[in-house]
Amino acid sequence: MSSRSTPPNRRRTCWRHARLATFAAGSPWGWIDDGALVTEGAHLAWVGAEADLPSNLQVDDEVDLHRALATPGLIDAHTHLVYGGDRAGEFEQRLQGATYEEIARAGGGIRSTVAATRAASDEALFQGAARRARILMAEGVTTLEVKSGYGLAQAHEARCLAAARRLARELPLDVRTTSLAAHALPPEFAGRPDDYIDAAITWLAGQQARGLVDAVDAFCDTIGFTPAQTERIFNEAQRLGLPVKLHAEQLSDQDGAALAARFGALSCDHLEHLSARGVAAMKAAGTVAVLLPGAYYFLRETKLPPVPALREAGVPIAIATDHNPGSSPALSLVLMLNMACTLFRLTPEEAWRGVTVHAARALGLPDRGVLAAGQRADFAVWDAEHPREIAYRFGHNPCRRVVHAGVERTM
């Protein structure tokens, strides 16, 4: 093996002597006990056993990982990072007996965050989101999704999406943005949900023209929007060529998953009340089930998502933080691994695939989530011998270094 001089965007580094959980198909964990990675620019040029490294490989740098564990960079496929204020007071109310639905109907919940978000400056929105993003990044997250949905007016929704876009420009992080104007009914449209949907539909083309949006979401539930209203939003997204996803079957079965599947949805998320019909529709459409154990835990839900039915049908299962101020103020995707195992009875490998392979699919990103030649050079190095240890322990951060697009981040 020899060194060479290359342009920065083609710089080649060999990361040697690692325990690799590649999550490539064909074996449990895609495991390579003594492996190596070769990065070239922003991509992986070679992945395999240390013993199989080409003898004539030329590199610019070598890094010995001393048998540390390396995995794909983590992907948080469902967050609401951009918002103003917090809802710690509602947390106390719930502990005193109020339900999430009662608080929402009394003007709290999402509406209180809308008021705080509208009152916040652009800089405050960005800085708050950046602080949260950095916490996730410190645990190995290299890609995440950010939804709007706390502006609920044309200008404020655009401000939130712009703050999310700025995260990707100013942090070593990939960010996918999702327009979630159909999140709740703002006070100025009280009693007029159809009129609000009319307005939200008109905003999408402008968001797309400004490069602010990658996908479209909606909250289809008893305290959200009806299937018919959701379908109208999805029709406009389809006309614009934007993929859709859906907050579905969280509090009740509205048959939203089947509706989303008709539109080829990237994902349906929450899914505690998902029916057999919804499972079948998701399977047929190739839609990913994004489970959100943080919200399930924080809201003290008791109805589990139908993991055995999803597993039997072969529906891909992703795991995400659902970070938001009201129902899942979680900022640890590593903790979600443990929660997915303990609360939802996923195996550790299923949970890990849920924050790598399947999370990438939920965002429509086939170029990451697996350590393989040609994929993005996004990976995390851990103080552990095996990924199951990271799903097993909680309350600490075992991430030791992160490489994003071939460049090691400063931790």
- 66 and 79 in a single domain? The answer is no
| Tokens 């080409």 found at | 54
- 131 and 280 in a single domain? The answer is yes
Asked whether 291 and 267 are in contact (CB, 8 A), the reply is no
- 145 and 173 in a single domain? The answer is yes
Q: Of 312, 306, 313, give the one whose Cα is nearest residue 287.
A: 313
Q: Residue 408, by phi and psi: left (phi above 0), alpha (psi -120 to 50) or beta?
A: beta
- 179 and 327 in a single domain? The answer is yes
What is the rounded CA–CA span in Å between residue 213 and residue 200? 14
Q: How far is CA 390 from CA 15, 17, 69, 85, 118, in A?
A: 21, 20, 10, 32, 39
What is the rounded CA–CA span in Å between residue 286 and residue 263? 11
Residue 292: strand, helix, or coil = coil
pLDDT of residue 110: 82
What is the rounded CA–CA span in Å between residue 366 and residue 360? 6
Asked whether 294 and 339 are in contact (CB, 8 A), the reply is yes
- 288 and 278 in a single domain? The answer is yes
Asked whether 140 and 133 are in contact (CB, 8 A), the reply is no
Question: 253 Cβ partners below 8 Å, 6+ apart?
Answer: 273, 274, 275, 278
Q: What pLDDT, in 10s, does the model give residues 37-52?
A: 999 999 999 999 999 9
In this structure, the strands spanning 12-21 and 31-40 are antiparallel
Domain stops at, among 362, 379, 396: 362
- 208 and 341 in a single domain? The answer is yes
Q: Of 388, 390, 176, give the one whose Cα is nearest residue 290.
A: 176
CATH code of the domain covering residue 33: 2.30.40.10
- 334 and 255 in a single domain? The answer is yes
In which domain, by residue range, is 117 found? 74-362
- 353 and 381 in a single domain? The answer is no
pLDDT of residue 398: 98
Q: What pLDDT, in 10s, does the model give residues 10-35?
A: 899 999 999 999 999 989 999 999 99
Both tokens of 386, joined, read 């095996």
Secondary element (H or E) of residue 380:
strand 379-382
What is the rounded CA–CA span in Å between residue 173 and residue 88? 28
DSSP symbol at 364: T
CATH code of the domain covering residue 217: 3.20.20.140
- 79 and 217 in a single domain? The answer is yes
Which residue ranges in the chain fall short of pLDDT 70? 1-8, 411
What is the rounded CA–CA span in Å between residue 68 and residue 408? 16
- 326 and 391 in a single domain? The answer is no
Looking at the structure of the chain, the number of domains it has is 2
Strand order in the sheet with 399-404: 43-49, 31-40, 12-21, 61-72, 379-382, 399-404, 407-408
The gap from C-alpha 189 to its chain's centroid, in whole angstroms, comes to 30
- 355 and 384 in a single domain? The answer is no
- 87 and 69 in a single domain? The answer is no
Question: 212 Cβ partners below 8 Å, 6+ apart?
Answer: 158, 161, 162, 165, 177, 179
Residue 67: strand, helix, or coil = strand
Q: How far is CA 179 from CA 89, 111, 182, 197, 239, in A?
A: 27, 17, 8, 13, 15
